[in-house]
Amino acid sequence: MIPSVLPTYNRAPLTFVKGEGSWLIAEDGRRYLDLAAGIAVNALGHAHPALVQTLTEQAGRVWHVSNLYQIPQQQALADALVEKTFADTVFVTNSGTEAAELAIKMARKFWYEQGAPERVEIITFQGAFHGRSSGAIAAAGSEKMTKGFGPLLPGFVHLPFGDLEAVKAALNDRTAAIMVEPIQGEGGIRALDDAFLRGLRDLCDTTGTLLILDEVQCGMGRTGRLFAHEWAGITPDIMMVAKGIGGGFPLGAVLATERAAGGMVAGSHGSTYGGNPLACAVGTKVMEIIADDAFLAEVRRKGALFRQRLEGLVAAHPEVFEEVRGTGLILGLKCRVTNTDVVQAGYGAEVLTVPAADNVIRLLPALTISDEEIAEAVARLDRAASAVEAAA
């Protein structure tokens, strides 16, 4: 008999009843060091006092009114994002997938309004992940995500990861946009180098093509800058944000330049829940905390410390791990053994990690993780690795 919850997930047999900063406490009282953070969502850890206060205060006032009316909390969030980024305008969504949908629509509508309705193609890259809607799976294009869900939304061109020559060859007078994650998260913490991102920006500038960056996983301070593209010194035309921006409350956004958003007039897009007062009050508070130079400098410092310790872990367990990947607090360990065995052994050592493609385990802790917790995380990963070795 089918379970009452649609069985689309492979869940670990763990139930958490409480979260405190970087820790999750299970029903049986065991304390797990959380390097999953709800898959890069709990950017400020669990039950951050400022977020609890903001959420409960807003909950006592008004939760939802719909976009029929003015929403000052949405305005405040959009203003904060515009102030701190390349963007001139923001549409607030509930998730990363919805942000991907709008990014695709916005790019196509742009060219339609420019009198070039044939420019509909969007270039994407192998290993990408943009969500689970029909549009987002077509954008990623992998067989794993798309098989059985056809007919797929047409108009995506899938290119090898990080291949600028392939992009040059693929650009033509039907190209609307290039959509890419600066660091692939689900794809295995695979970072594009700065030169590639700058190359994409140049190609977009010469052809008018829109550059869409998906910073759903790598954005919101995770790399030690507010957004990952800042490292390459470029800006996109459209950007998708979600996960960390809500600190655990469902929230996403599409950020865009005035030019790129030109086609999105009244009535062209909408959402019942998107931009509701509860989510936006929390998001504005998250922005206030993360978009702060001192906070981001700490992420960079802790990321370097964590990475250094992980290099030692890889050296100590060369049969389990191959290499460390990533930057800031979006880190990965490429495994020599099956990655899910390491994740599983982590449960035994009371440390939570996330599997990714390319046989990688992801470490996406709260950006507020302390130096002591980083040391503890490496000690627990060391125990997990030893357990995998012992079982081999």
Ligand X SMILES: Cc1ncc(COP(=O)(O)O)c(C=O)c1O
Minimum CB separation of residue 364 from ligand X in Å reads 10
Q: Which of 199, 244, 209, 198 is nearest to 225 (CA)?
A: 244
> Are 245 and 251 in contact, with CB atoms under 8 Å apart?
yes
> At its nearest, how many Å lie between ligand X and the CB of residue 171?
23
139-172: string of b/e by CB count within 10 Å (b at 16+)?
bbbbeebeeeeeeebebbbbbebbebebbeebbe
Report which DSSP code applies to 127: T
**Binding residue ranges for N(2)-acetyl-L-ornithine:** 132, 271
Angle, nearest 10°, between helix axes 277-290 and 72-84? 30
- 73 or 93, CB closer to ligand X? 93
What is the rounded distance in angstroms from the CA atom of residue 7 to the CA atom of residue 15? 17
Return the number of the residue (119 or 362) whose C-beta is nearest ligand X.
362
Please tell me whether residue 215 adopts helix, strand or coil conformation: coil
Tokens of 348: 């035994």
CB of 133 to ligand X, least distance (A): 8
Give 58 or 97: the residue with its C-beta nearer to ligand X: 97
Which tokens in the block code for residue 19? 């979260």
User: In the complex with ligand X, which residue's Cβ is closer, 97 or 327?
Assistant: 97
CA–CA dist 100, 78 (Å, integer): 18
Distances (CA, A) of 296 to 51, 184, 370, 377: 18, 21, 14, 21
**Contact between 249 and 271 (Cβ < 8 Å):** no
Q: Which positions ≥6 away from 382 have C-beta within 8 Å?
A: 313, 316, 317
Residue nearest to ligand X (CB): 96
3-state class (DSSP) for residue 254: strand
Taking the complex as a whole, the smallest distance from the CB of residue 199 to ligand X amounts, in Å, to 21
Residue 188 C-beta: closest distance to ligand X, Å: 12
> Which CB, 253 or 281, lies closer to ligand X?
253
Nearest to 334, CA basis, from 349, 356, 309: 356
What's the min distance (Å) between Cβ of 194 and ligand X? Answer: 19
Nearer to ligand X by Cβ, of 95 and 368: the residue is: 95
Q: How far is the CB of 349 from ligand X (least distance, A)?
A: 25
The nearer residue to ligand X, 98 or 350, going by C-beta atoms, is 98
Which residues fall in the annotated binding site for pyridoxal 5'-phosphate?
96-97, 129, 214-217, 272
CB 264 within 8 A of CB 103: no
Q: Which is nearer to ligand X, 329 or 337 (CB)?
A: 329
Write down the least CB distance from residue 388 to ligand X, Å: 26
Rounded-to-integer distance, Cα 28 and Cα 17, Å: 9
For ligand X, the closer CB: 216 or 352: 216
Closest separation in Å from C-beta 230 to ligand X:
17
Residues forming the annotated binding site?
Answer: 96-97, 129, 132, 214-217, 271-272
Q: How far apart are CA 126 and CA 159, in angstroms?
A: 6
Shortest CA distance to 350 belongs to which of 372, 378, 380, 371? 380
Structure tokens at 336: 């020599």
Residues that bind ligand X (CB under 6 A): 39, 95-97, 100, 129-131, 181, 185-186, 214, 216-217, 242
